Every structure is written in C-alpha cells, then in structure tokens.
Structure 1
C-alpha cells in the first residue's frame, strides 16, 4: 500500500474497463476521459494517470496507447500497482460489481478508492455477503462511492450503502456551437444508442420510432454509435420512416447538435441505462431543451430548473409532451440559456467536487479489509460477530441485539459492553498494529 511522501504530489489513477474496444462510444468512458483530460491540464495539486483494464491483456501486462493518451493493463494488475504506487484509485463503472476486481489486486491493505457508479442499476446482482463487504470498506474509509443521480443514491441507501451525488459535467462550449436556423421542421435529436440488442427496449428505441411515426411532420436526427445498425435500418425501412436522419460511426457532436431543437431520452427502464445521460447533459449545457421519461436519473434536476419536460414511457404521452414543448418552446429555451451552463458545464475545474474528494481522501490511510480481519480471527480460532442473529447469540441476549444501533453506547448495559469491546479491539491492535482505540 502507498504511503504518501510529503515531497511528492499525490497520484490519482483513473480506471475504466475496456476503453479501446468501444472507442468513442460509451458515455462512461467519455465522461471519465473528460475529467482526466481537464484535471491533468488545469489541476497541479495531483498527478493523474488514465488506465483501461483490458480483458485481452495478460496478467500484469502494460501497454501504453499514445494516440489515446491512456495506459492499458490486464485484469490482474497487483504488480503494476506495487510498481506505480498510486495514492488514490478513481474507478468509473456502470455498477459496483466491478469493485471486487480491484480488491482482488489490492492485497491485505487496499488502496483508497473513489468509485463513480454511472448506471441506474448500481447492483444488478449481489449477495448479502458482498453488501457486508462493501459496507465495511465504506465504514473504514477504504471506499468512497459517487453516484450521478439522487435515484441511485436512494437505491444504495436502502441497501445500507452510503454515497455522494456528483452532477455530471461536460466540457462542450456553447460558443463553439454554430446553430443553424434553416430548419423547416422542428428537429428532435437522440444520442443514446444501445450498446447491444439486450438494451434495445431499455433505451427506448421502439418508443422513439413510434414517436417518429406519430409525428411525421417533425424531423428526427439520431446519433447511432452502436454495432447493430442493420437492425435500425430494417426498422426504419419497415416503418417507411422518411423523417429520420441517422449519423453512424464517429460523430462530431457539435455538428450533431447544431440543427437540433430538442433532445429526447425515451428510456423505458432502469436496466442498461446511464443514470445521467451525456446527451441530455450536453444538450442542456449547449442551450437545447430536453424531453425525458421518468426512468432518467436526473429528471429531478430537469424538473427543478425547467430544462424540459418529463414524460411517461408511452407514445401517447410522449407525443403530447413534444407538442407541449413546442408550444412553450421560448420558455424552456430561456431556462436552458439562463441556467444550463451553470449547472452542467465543466468550469472552475480546480474547485470541482472530485478535486475536493481527492483532497479529503489523500489525507487518509487505508484499513484492513473485512476478509483480512476474518482470516486473522479464523487463524486464532475466533470469529467475527456480524448481524443481529449473531449478536444475540454472542451476548446470549436478544434484547441487546435489537438495541444494537447508533445509540447503543449511551446507557447501561451497552456502555459496559462497549468498554469490553474496546478492550478486545485494543488487544488486537496492540498485537498487530501501532495504534490504540480511545476510551472516550
């Protein structure tokens, strides 16, 4: 584990998964790279490095991609961590399922980790044991979780997992957008193409095409950065849609937005979706109103500032809300023009929330993992008491277990049990570490 030298600048390593495989496609990677590029240029209090974990690389293999300005490591990278010794690991991923990959490479003392969850489904598959493991990592300060949506923060809170919400920002500048005014039709943009057939319905592609069919007098512009272009082309042909323009492959997003009047995110579920769609963030920052379904994670921010309209995930309500947006377009345009940049543009970079978190985390030291403590106790023929059932058995008192909450040390008999526990902890720390637990 890294011990920060006071003469050195703290090192922050950005991590994402398989960046090279879907170059310029996934919003997760684009967001992570945007922060990395801007922080590297404007923040000198930390040293930054961007790493992509690539599943086609061997154990502890490293490849530097100078064109992308990233380093690529294999999924087993413990030796590389020892070599570079970063102070903070910052992970960008759609769910918390990836945290185990890092702890498997950390060893007994984990690296301090900031983990940004970008998806709407933060833990699609989990076991209670993994939740306990995550809670311990958070409680001792090894893991700090960031979400992009208040909805996701509430989901995690219901699982007993603390998190901090940080609003997604974009570095797209409004003064670089050359808006064209030669549209004969109101143009609706869509730039949240599904990454696979599995997310076709979740991203609302059928709903989007139903909308285009229902609003034949409107123009639709789609930024399609997905491999399944054939399926979209077939759908357009079968529906005989001649009011849909599709841009495929690498896309200059300024060129995409220049003749778009509104941007839509017609998500139909939380699955396979980003909690803070980058196309919606970019549109608002550039002064373009939006229409989103209730399944979009930042609907509360859009509603708060009247950046657009929230719709149900049905074509009937979507048609109605599009017409309402057109009717009141001047009002919503004024709202995004007035507040969009302030909320979603990446400026004052040195004071960004991530920089504040890096500063806080860099002053901490990591603690042993829950697995480490369990192994130590098991070797001593002891065990770790966890959960109400085990507490009741340990104390031989169900009342004690039921009262074991944040107020448990204030009165007798819990105050006495607390002193006993601190004595036991001091025994362990006295044997395995240099510090002691206060009696206060």
Structure 2
C-alpha cells in the first residue's frame, strides 16, 4: 500500500533544528515516494529517496516552468493562473529557454575563476572578523558575519555599488524569508526589480569589470539581464548566508566535530561538503510531470506536481551511512545540496570558496566561540521560507 503524507509539516522537532521534520523522515522509512494531497485538492507526490530525487532532477519529462507551479504544499491559493517566469529568471524555465540564459553565465562561474576569488573573499572575511573583534566579545553572527560576506562578494561580482548592498540584504530577506505578508513580499520584489533595471541601464552607459557588464555584448535584452541579475543576487546571497550561520550553529552543537576540524584544517573541504549534505538549506524543489511517467512502480500522471524533499534525500540511509550524524570525516560524496541536472546550482563553486574561507577563519579568530543563548532559544527560519536557516545566532568569545 502506498504511503500518504496527509499534510506538509510546518515545524521541526524541538531540540532538532538540523534534522528535516520528523514526518518527512518517517515518510522515507515507508519508501522513497509517498502520496501527497495538496491543500487545494490536487493529488500530488512527495519524493524523499535519494536515487529517485536525483533521477527526477535529471529527467526532462519533469518541468520547472513557473506557470505549472499552481499548487502550494501548505497554502490553498485556489484555482489560480500563474504567469510564466519573467525574462531572464531561468530557474523557473525548461530547455531551450533555460539554456539560453544559463549558457552565457557558465564561463563566469568556473572552478578556476572562483578559486581566483579566494584572496578577495579572505580580505572581506578578515574585515568583518576585525569589526566583530573591535566591537566586543559578543555578536549576532547573522548580521555581523554570515549575511555581509556573501552580500559583498555577489554585489562585487555583479557590479552593484558597495553602498547599495544593504538594500539587497533587506529586500531579499523580505521576499525569501517566509515571514512577510504577500503585500510586503510584492513590494520588496518590485523595488529590487526597479533597482536592477536602473543598474542594467547604468552598465549600458558605463560598463565596468563585472559579470553583468560582461554580458552586455550578448543578444540579451535589458529586461533579460535584469531577471538574470535577480536570480544571481538572491541565490548568491541567501543560500550562502544561511549556510554560514547554520553551519556554525551545527558545529557548535557538535563539539567533537568542531574539535576535529580545529585539530586538522586539512579536513575543511570535507567538512564543508558534509555540512552542505547534513543541513541542505535549499530543502525542497518542485517539478510537474509533462507526460505520464512510471517511477518506482507508480504512475505519475501528466500535470501532477511532485515535491522533491532534498533535505530528506540527503539523509537517505540507503545512500549515506548513519545519515543523521554530522561526520566531517565522511567519504560518501554526491549530495544533492546544489540540486542535480540542468538546474544544478550555477554558483556552487563560489559558495564552496566562501564557506571554505569564512568558516575556518571564524573558528581560528575566536577559539572560544560559543553560543550566547541556550540552543533552544536560537531563532530559526520558518519552514515556509525557501531557504532554511537561523534568523539570528547570538555568539560570544573570550577577549
């Protein structure tokens, strides 16, 4: 008998801020795929197994197109018409439109080019650690460290003036944070789009040495460049910011792993990959079947929405040994934290550089770093948020 998850969990277990909601873990125990009735009555599917999730992410019979995303797993929006993604917002498109936007960017985010950024990321990180140290022996790690570092990096890459980075932090937080009302989210989105329209126009008039200016010689319109910039800014900021804060929280709550990393910095790359797997901040993706598809003995009918629980797939015991344990010595690779297939995260190498630089620098600067509040008082982002993480992380250290 096929398991059914009656509703999408909206919170995590008390005391388990790093684990997926227990209902998702229990669903995986019943098998890699479950029935899921959406609040609006649509009969969809939930995939929690690693192999099946990976297969769907690479299967062109499943669409990412925004106009097909009519069903929300928690909110009943009724029978609504969803417009196609605006020009340039390629994450919500299929081929060939997706490739037209992604292809010009691939060369801008290569492993080699991102490694060349390491020195600049080190400088930015050191500047923020200096500021923390001068300010005293306590800080909110989110506002003092986790958010500003990726904000500065992605703004510099795209040629956003330094003084405008706060504008982006505030507005991206609003439309991705999962707590603002519809009007507030809409206003933040519109304000960001208007700013980016002005930025693209400014680059046309006076190109500079940045990714956005590099794209001016292509056949992309200003509106398309604006949409691409929005995707890069939001993805390049929010995911890394939450990984830095939540990753630090996870290490502080696993002192044996923290001690091992301090004792052997050569484990940094492995530790970053394990934190990416263990936390999976981009926790769910959605796909819609374009035709009838047979999967694991089930027929996914054309037009059906499928929820891919990446956070649970990355905890699949059939793929990872002792999956609910944070183990920085883990040798099993291949996590899905950056997705898979044509939509695999374009900026994954940039995120890795930032995490590999910033986390060891933080731990090295403050050897006695610790939570300044009980762990259960750390404010977490709601499950409604697109990206999971902490809203604030009060920390302290010795002078």
Could you tell me the TM-score, scaled by structure 2's length? 0.24
Higher relative contact order (CA 8 A, sep 6+): 2
Higher Rg of the two aligned structures: 1
| Larger helix percent | 2
TM-score (norm 1): 0.22
